[in-house]
Structures are given as C-alpha cells and as structure tokens.
Structure 1
Amino acid sequence: MVDVRRVKLPGVGVLHSFVAEDGGKVGVIAHRSGANDLITFSDAESPDEVTKISIRLNEDEAHTLAELLGGTQITESLAALDQIPGLSIDWFSVDYDDHIAGQPLGAPADHGLIGLTVVAVVRGEAANPGPGPDFKVFPGDTLVVAGSPEKVAKAFDFFRTGTVAARQALADAPPGT
C-alpha cells in the first residue's frame, strides 16, 4: 500500500504526495479554489539536480486523469460487487415529478427500508459519497443505491411516490399476529 502524505498549505489548500517505487515523488495540490496541480519531482542529492514538473488541471481534466488512472478499476470493482448473490447496486435518476425531488434524502430505515444504503448522490460531474439524511436531492441527481434487489425496487418506488408498499409477508399474515 502506498503511504500518502497530507500537508496543509495555509491559504492555498492541501498537498497530497507519495514516493513512487523508483524514488520519484508525485503529488497533487488541491487548491481551495478548486484547481488542482499535478506535480512530480525527483529525489536528488542537491537542490540544483531536482527535476520538477507542475501541470495545472481544471476540474474536468482532474476527473479525466483520475478516470485514466483508476476509474476503470472502480467500475470493475462495482461490477464485481453486482455479481454477489443478494446484492443489487442500481442508479435512480431523479425527475421533477418524483417525490424525492427537492426533499432531504432522509434515512432509508425511517421509511421502512432497512438493509438499504444510498451509497452516493451524483450531481453533474461531482459525486457526494455517503450522503447524510439532511442531504437535499434535486431533479437531475442520480442516487446510487445498494441492497437486495427487492429493497432497491421498493426504494425506487418510494423515491417516485413517497410511499413504500407493504411487505407481502405482513399482508399474508393471519389477523391478530
């Protein structure tokens, strides 16, 4: 595992860096403004021998580089998770007429959806992983949901209508149980 060093740069942002196997150093300066600088530099005995390269990346370029370096692995990992029996990962695109549009996400368990997780909310090109119950959902957002296929289907019904269908087992139970 690579040891990443994190250094706060007052008034600038944060530098994340690590030493590569060949001794070179790689870093990303995440500016408070949202810009990112990709930097590399060699580890030389004297400061005069150090080779430095710095490239300013806008948000789209940073996302593209991340995708080139690891996005495919993430996609493959999600695909592998989807192969686990009993687990479904699906995406719900929020429309203007959906119940959830303009509402806080809430906790799935509060709506009878125990064992279901909203993994992330994707808004535009930004992902909001592990959103809290107060995270407000807007039309155009995409909710990444994980759970059993039945629970994911019930969650999608709730996101559309605001109601959760009664569990069949309860509907079939004899009166008084």
Structure 2
Amino acid sequence: MPPQPIVLYRRRWTLLFQVPFTLLMVACLAYSVLLIYAADNKLLTLIGSVGAFTSFCIAGTFGRSAWEAYREREPVVVIDESGITDLRDEDSHTVPWQAMERVLLDITENTIRVKLRTSSTESAIGVIVKALQRWQRGGDLVFLLGGLAYDARQVQMALRAHYAAAVPRRSALQ
C-alpha cells in the first residue's frame, strides 16, 4: 500500500493577527503624513517622514502577505509518490524521489532540504559551484514551509515513507 500524500496549505488563521496589525500601520502612516503637513518644525517633519516610510513598508509587507493568505486557497506544497512539488512558482515542477540522494526536514528553519544525486559527467568547476551553493543554502533544493499549516511529525513520516517506497535500496532520509 503506497503512503498517503501530504498536501500543505497556507495558514489562514494568521489573518486574525495580520489584518489588525496592517490596519494599525495604516493608521500610523496617516498620522505620520498628518504630522508632516501640520508641523512647522524640521525635526518633526523628519520624524514624521521616517515614521511614514516605516509604516508604509510594514503595512505593505503585512498587507500583501495577508492578501495572499486570503486569496490563495489551493495547495502550496504536495508530497506524494511522484516526489515533492512546490506550487508557488509559475513554473512549478515535481522533484522525483529517484533524483534525491537525501531529504531532511529542518523544523527549526521550517524547510525541507534536498540533496540531489550528482552526475559523474559533471566538470570539476560544476561540482565546486554546486557544493558552494549547497553549503550556502543547506541543500540543492530548499522548500520553504514558513507560513504553511503542517504537522512536523506527519510530514517527517510522509517524507520517510515516500522516499523509502521510491528508493528502497538506500534510505538516506535523516
């Protein structure tokens, strides 16, 4: 019996915190703009300008994130018998289990790190470049799980079961 697929969605309950905070930042932005126009003092104008810029940046970031969480209702990451698929990209594709040498769920970083199998036909420079990229990112491929609703134990078991079913000879899941 093949393992059950795991489908990860965006956390929508965070909207309860993001929307009020975004509205608070919009109110701070409005107050800062009012302070800029009402103040005759250069110091108050400078403080209001910095406050307006900061409020705008924070409100924009949280507002966009809240809008994406509200709008996106379809799956974001799918772990099934064919591999791991990240659907957030425009050109989403599945990374097959046979192409993976090692899969690691990093709970502290909220990521799935994948080390791909290396080809024996690659040049020495290509191997060095890939090793440096792997060292910098923590793997050849990194699937970000931040902002997604998931149970770490369930994802870990699914990764282990799917990898073992697809690559039965060498189980290198950590």
Shorter-chain TM-score: what band?
under 0.3
Greater fraction of residues in strand = 1
TM-score, reference length from structure 1? 0.23
Q: Which has the higher contact order (CA 8 A, sep 6+)?
A: 2
Query: Which of the pair is proportionally richer in helix?
Result: 2
- TM-score norm. by structure 2 comes to 0.23
